[in-house]
Amino acid sequence: MFEDKYAEDVILKIPSSTIVDGQRFFVGRVVKALIIDFTEHDLNYFGQIKNGKIFLLKSAYEPLPDSRIVHAGKTYDLKGVKVCCDLDERIECYRCAAAF
């Protein structure tokens, strides 16, 4: 769909079941992303999020609840995920609302 637009490399940190020293362990994966600002529709759907962004992730890895996204040295907490499919019902990308 927007293959040439997924230009940013971000790190998707997916929580694992492993706990190290009482802290949850995250597995980091580098994925391609298209980063956009919130629209009015996003604010209505995800709720009031300040200092947030929408990340369209082109990834083979599904963002799970409690995942994090690292972009430009900032870590964003995932607040919501919508799966975007193409007409063949294949997953095109994940639309992630993330807050700083």
- The residue ranges of every structural domain in the chain are 3-99
Query: How far apart, in whole angstroms, are the C-alpha atoms of residue 72 and residue 39?
Result: 22
Q: For residue 58, report the phi and psi dihedrals to the nearest 5 degrees.
A: -95, 95
Domain 3-99 has CATH 2.40.10.270: yes
- What does pLDDT average to over the chain? 86
Tokens of residue 63, six digits: 């963002």
Whether the per-residue pLDDT at 47 is higher than 80: the answer is no
Least confident of 7-11, 18-22, 44-48, 67-71: 44-48
pTM of the model as a whole: 0.83
